[in-house]
Each structure stands twice: as structure tokens, then as C-alpha cells.
Structure 1
């Protein structure tokens, strides 16, 4: 979450009149995250999250996101529920941006997740994947492998700022991932994935997950790719954390077992996930507009992960069930 578009109080008050949510008491921008403009909104009834969607999220995809969240919420997945206005409309226009109001989830994200947190995440992700089987509408991964070479072309010339020789290294890794990525016909189970399950998108109350947020990269893709993204996000500090890997995988497998072809593909999916987030962070590092209330994420974190997954292709041997 972040704030790119400023919001005037009088416009927010007028917007809230469309809903049966009470009167505005306070609101404030949320600086965490990188994609959309988000605000805490406190009314006389409850607390909500207002999202103004910026350029990377296509307005054509918003109905799919809203329907997925409604579906998952109805299936018992703890996630925000889109709020309808008095006429049953969910998606509006505010400050020239598509805008939605969703319910607020209690809890805090964990900056340094431990083993029990990773196990809880594995369980929650597998339940998400099972629940998503009933949601049949598909959405192409808008930052899938087919987009990575184009992203790289936009920022290749600037990569040397971070490390000498980085252009050559990333070009080589991109070719490796493209050559070894599973095809759509490889038999890997596909379904609805979150595709951005970082710690700051998972809220806890104590040791219990209270909710998953920020579904605006969700898409239809390999279920194991979601696991690969989570392994990147939850299982490194300044180095690889094998105890977190074991906990996350054990939690996931307690609900859903990997098929053999998924397990075999997981190392290249992990390398691809590291490459995806390196490329988008590198792009956003240079493309984030001046004055945006957003905490930019350093792409160098993912340089270390790229090195690990490219050099330790057999790292999963120790975690075979």
C-alpha cells in the first residue's frame, strides 16, 4: 500500500454518502506498499480501507479482484470484503482513479517472521488454494514470465548503478529461467494464487493469522509459484533460513500435498520469483514519481536471493517429505 494520489476531505465525505457506513470521523494515508493509494477511513460505524487504483492495476481487472475477494470471504478465508454502496455498486471513480471501499482487518504484520509464523502462512496459503478451486474465472498473471524481458529492457541500462556486471548476470539468469520455466502443458496444478504473499500482506493477532490483504496481483497461475514467492519473502533474513522453509512447507503440506512435477519445478519457480521481484523493484526504484508517499523497496535484497537460487538448485533435498 502507498499514497500516490492525495485526497481532499470534502471529496471523501461526498464519496461516503454513497454508502451506508456512517459519517467520516478521520482518515489518513498508508505509506507502506508500492502499488496503489490507500487510506484508513474511520466512520461512526466502523473502520475501512479506501483504495485508489494507480497505473499498474488495470480497471478492467477490478471486477475480477472484487469477485475473488467476495468469493474467498464467503468460503471462510480471512480477507477484506468489498463494500457495496446503496445501489449495489462496488467500483467507483474518485480523484480520477477507480476506487473501492473494503472492510478493515485487525492485526499486525510481522517484520521478522519465525517458524510458527511460516507454518501458519503455509497452512493459510494451502487453504486459499483449495478455496480458489471453486472460483472458475481466470485472470492472466500481469507480471508473469512473459513480461519480464520487457521489464528488463526498460531498466537494463540503469542496473550497473547497483552492481558492476549486473546487466550480464541478469540477462543470463533471465535466459535460464525462460528456457527452464514449466510450460502450461507440463501438468502443474493451476488455480487462483495471491502472487504477493509477503509478510506485510499477512496480518497476525498473536500467533494466529487474522487476515490476508492486497489481492491486486492475484491471478490464475501455477499453485507452486505462489509457494515459491512465499519462500522468497519469508525464508531469508540476511541469509537463507532453512528452519523457515521447513515450517512453511510443512504447514502447506498439512493441507495440500505437492504433486511430483510441482516439487521438481519448485527450484526454477523460486529463481523465477526472485527474478520477478528484482525486476519490478528495479523498475519502480527509478519510476516512482517524486512526492509520492511511498517507501521504495530496494532491489538489492533480491540480488542475494537470485544468487542463492541460481547456485543452490538442490536446496529442496533437505525438505523432501
Structure 2
């Protein structure tokens, strides 16, 4: 969601024409994220969200489109993907592919606003989503697997930035421990969001209005989704027990965790901390983009999560969650 491709006004006119959106009145770039170029576009028919990607394949975009259709038909709060006049889920444009969504109302919460009520509702909605996706037939392997993260770390080893080089060696050790704590063969799997951060949920007062940004959605262990979300929402200098427990409590109101899932949560959480530390080093800390084109995210906050998890271990993590 950073500005990686500068699109000219005529490109937005082409999008509006292809989607039957009317005349373009205003275009505002959104300089956040790590993969796509996003814009808020106001047309004579209303406001839409326009996402341009140069890295996602047509197959991946069709998977996302089918998933969003499934969620919408199941009455789950999710984005509405618009289709072109030819009923295609995306448009080939400027060396990439454009997807257009209805603009989502509501607000994104900031960390100081979070309460146990918010986390309980968040957990409940994630549990509902996991139940719903059990009937979804689409499939996509997780592009951010342990093998992929290991490859990233190998590429960062010996980096000229001393802090990066030192962190990489530590992350290698954390990744090894995470993988030794995960049993990939004994866990319920299905479609997961895989990136449910604070800025990927819209709220209306204290109610979840929508989950959005499903570009990383894939088929993997449901426990990984739980751990990624918990890491994102329940850590503020350290894990906040009351938020962690409220999130797990809400989740289990919608979907009960099997014993095997509980035992794998520590490994998933540690893996997630390593995965996001590594991606933030690559996509933000080492990015050459200027501040006006990219809102940076500090990799050290996720390194702190990895260290906290490593210190508490599997038993301490389950105690934190009251599982």
C-alpha cells in the first residue's frame, strides 16, 4: 500500500471507464504498506479504493475475488470488489493489474483505543471467518512460508548495515525454534486472512464493520492466523494479558480450538514475529523510497515480540492466553 507506481490522470480515467464509474473528480495516493500502490478515488458516482499491483498474478487475484464473493454471500463483513463492464475482477493497466473496491466506511482503531471488548469482538469475527471458509473451495499456498522467510534471512546475512546483520543471525535462531515447535501435519487448515493488523479492520463504534485487505489470504493452519492477529493487536512494549485472553475468549465463542492447535500456537506466534521482522527489514528499513511515498514500519517492534516469546517459551505463552 505504498506508492510504487506513479499513475497519470489518464490511467485513472481508463479505470473509471472500464468500471463504469463516471468522471474522476479527485485522486489521493495512500503512502502506506509494502507491496501495492493504492489510491482513494472520488468519481461522479462515489468514492472507491483503487489498488495497483505489479507483483500479484492473475491467478492470485482471481482467488481473492472468489474468496470475497464467498464471504459476502455468507454475510461476513468484508470488502465489495467491483468488476469491470466485462465482469472481470481486475484490469490490466500500466505494467500491472488494478482492482477496485467500494470505499469502506468506519474507522481504524489506534493502539491506545483498544479494550478487551474490542479484542473479544475481533476474536469472535475471526472465528466466524474460519468457520465460513471451511466451505470455500479455492486454494492458494502461503507465499510467506518458513522456507520463504529463511530465504529472506539468508539474503540479509552479512548485510552492510550492522544492525540488520546482527538481527538476522538472531532471527535465524528464532526461526529454528519456531519450526521445532510447530507440527504442520496435525492442525486444522483452511483459508486464513494472514495479515489482520489494526489497519485492516474497520469499526463502527465498538462493532467490527469489516475485515479488509485480503491480498495475503491463503490456505494454512487456522492457528497461524490466530497467532499473527494476536501478535498484531495484543503487544504494546510487551504482551497485554487482558487483551490476549479477551481475543482468545472471543475466538472460542465462534470456534473451539483443538488441543493440537493450542500446542502449536507458540510456534506460530514466534514464526509470525520472525516473518514480520524480516519483511519489515526488507520492505521498510532498507527501502530506497522517500517518506512521501512510503510510511515506514519499524522492524524492531516485531523483533521485540520474538524476544518476548522466546523468553516465555511454550508453557509461558499458553499461561498468558489462559489455555
TM range (shorter): over 0.9
CA drift at 1:160: 5.9
CA distance in 2, matches of 1:205, 1:36: 26
CA drift at 1:59: 3.6
Counterpart of 1:316 in structure 2 is 318
Q: 1:38/1:150 Cα in 2 relative to 1: closer, same or farther (>3 Å)?
A: same
Q: 1:318/1:85 Cα in 2 relative to 1: closer, same or farther (>3 Å)?
A: closer
Counterpart of 1:278 in structure 2 is 277
TM-score (norm 2): 0.93
CA drift at 1:318: 4.7
The equivalences for 1:151-300 within 5 A come to 151-158=152-159, 161-162=162-163, 165-183=166-184, 185-186=185-186, 188-291=187-290, 293-300=293-300
CA drift at 1:218: 0.4
The equivalences for 1:86-165 within 5 A come to 86-112=85-111, 113-158=114-159, 161-162=162-163, 165=166
Q: 1:163/1:288 Cα in 2 relative to 1: closer, same or farther (>3 Å)?
A: closer
CA drift at 1:28: 0.7
TM-score (norm 1): 0.94
CA drift at 1:243: 0.8
CA-to-partner distance for each residue in 1:60-79, whole Å, 9 max, x for gaps? 31111111111111211111
Q: Are 1:6 and 2:35 counterparts?
A: no
Aligned-residue CA RMSD in angstroms?
A: 1.8
CA drift at 1:179: 2.7
Q: Are 1:301 and 2:301 counterparts?
A: yes
5+ residue gaps, structure 1, are none
Counterpart of 1:41 in structure 2 is 41
Counterpart of 1:18 in structure 2 is 18
Counterpart of 2:68 in structure 1 is 69
Aligned 8 A contact 1:129 1:191 in 2:
yes
Q: 1:275/1:318 Cα in 2 relative to 1: closer, same or farther (>3 Å)?
A: closer
CA distance in 2, matches of 1:319, 1:235: 11
Q: 1:318/1:280 Cα in 2 relative to 1: closer, same or farther (>3 Å)?
A: closer
Counterpart of 1:79 in structure 2 is 78
Aligned 8 A contact 1:159 1:167 in 2:
no
CA drift at 1:180: 2.8
CA distance in 2, matches of 1:202, 1:193: 15
CA distance in 2, matches of 1:239, 1:111: 16
CA drift at 1:138: 1.2
CA distance in 2, matches of 1:66, 1:157: 40
Aligned 8 A contact 1:160 1:166 in 2:
no
Aligned 8 A contact 2:179 2:267 in 1:
no
